[in-house]
Amino acid sequence: MTRITAPFLDDPALKRVLAALSAEGAQALVVGGAVRNALLGEPVADVDIATSAPPEDSIRLAEASGLRAVPTGIEHGTVTIVAEGRGFEATTFRRDVETFGRRAVVAYSDRIEEDAQRRDFTMNALYADAAGQVLDPVGGLPDLARRRLRFVGDAETRIREDYLRILRFYRFLARYGREAELQALSACAALREGLRDISRERIGHEMRKLLDAPDPSRALALMAEAGVLPLVLPGADAGDMAELVAAEHDFGTGALPCWPRRLALLGAHDPAGALRLSRDEAREQDRIAQALALPAPEAAYRLGRRAAAQSVLIRAARGEPPPFGWCHAVAKGDQAQFPLAARDLMPDLSGPALGAALKRAETAWIDHDFALGRDQLRRIALEQDS
């Protein structure tokens, strides 16, 4: 039998919740990502609970143990139980009666096997009791050991329940998988048109997470092959993604937030519209695109250090090695302050001539590695205009 020994199982608050829910014999189990990540030795962010107790019993049992229960998703069987100032979502086992895309008619169940059949992937349908004993109703443990991503039951059925599961499939493949089930790949390709009915906000949420995986290159290549990538991100080309991931590690930037850089590499026609980027996210994409058209020091001066550094890595992925000392050059450009002002050229110049002279002087200053002083720049501006 498989057992996990993750630190979260020693959490007194979680122990109180599990003990309360199981006080009268109901099952109360940790489910999904916490169990999966514990088995993989990955960090655990959230702990979700599945229970055979109906929602009204969950509320009653929690309150009987001195805990507060909030019906945050009661229509879906979810109750948030607050212990020691923290909330834990406890959802009653469910089974599908009818499904209509993302919407479904469900009934509560007291059987873990029926609850597991509603979940997306076998590696996410793993449960653990308070002692860490793992329950595996759908064969998720062998899949997890092989890092094989497989839908629970029939892949097309799972996808038709929610077409966003196509993108979730590629995201989980990028983050946790080494092997993709062929039936799953075929189903994603065959049903990709269903993604047209998914909101761009939801698509953008999944794509951000996918691009933030340690190495999304293989998943993106499979998405392109299946016709999924051009559907959700028209114009995107993932051909250089593996090289970008290598460049990130080579230059020690792998720990930085990277999905904006990777999205910029893809070169999609309208990433902001396709993924419903926020105003700040869209601005960053624009800055990176502008930086790609400039030498790195000038990009840092005009657009900031971050955009310039992103552009250097993207160019490296596309076969343009970074120049020696580029980090220092980018830092210098970011800190540079143009020393010449319009008043320094007045009254000798005015109007369009003044603007043209300032621009020429600035160009010379950038070309000389930001080293020219105000007097030198003034002479350049006035001599060229005389």
| CA distances, 110 to each of 50, 57, 124, 202, 334 (Å) | 10, 12, 19, 31, 61
C-alpha dihedral (11, 15, 17, 19), degrees to nearest 10: 180
pLDDT on residue 306: 94
Which residues share a beta bridge with 235? none
pLDDT on residue 74: 84
Q: Which amino acid is at 365?
A: W
Domains parsed from the chain with CATH numbers: 1-146 (3.30.460.10), 340-385 (no CATH)
- Give yes or no for a cis peptide into 260 (omega within 30° of 0): no
Mind listing the pLDDT tens digit for each residue in 192-243?
Answer: 999 999 999 999 999 999 999 999 999 999 999 999 999 999 999 999 999 9
Mind listing the pLDDT tens digit for each residue in 278-310?
Answer: 999 999 999 999 999 999 999 999 999 999 999
Q: Which amino acid is at 118?
A: R
pLDDT on residue 256: 61
Q: Which of 62, 74, 56, 55 is nearest to 14 (CA)?
A: 62
Low-confidence ranges of the chain (pLDDT < 50): none
- The structure tokens 């960090």 sit at 43
pLDDT on residue 50: 97
Buried b (16+ CB within 10 A) or exposed e, 106-128: bebbeebebbbbbbbbbbbbbbb
Which residues share a beta bridge with 78? 73, 91
Q: Is 384 left (phi over 0), alpha (psi -120 to 50) or beta?
A: alpha
Supply 30's token pair.
Answer: 């940790």
pLDDT on residue 383: 86
CA distance 45 to 29: 17
What is the distance between the terminal CA atoms of the chain, rounded to a whole angstrom? Answer: 88
Q: Phi/psi at 84 (nearest 5 deg)?
A: 55, 40
Q: Which of 214, 149, 216 is nearest to 187 (CA)?
A: 149
Using an 8 Å Cβ cutoff, are 333 and 369 in contact? no
The model carries a pTM of 0.89
DSSP label at residue 69: E
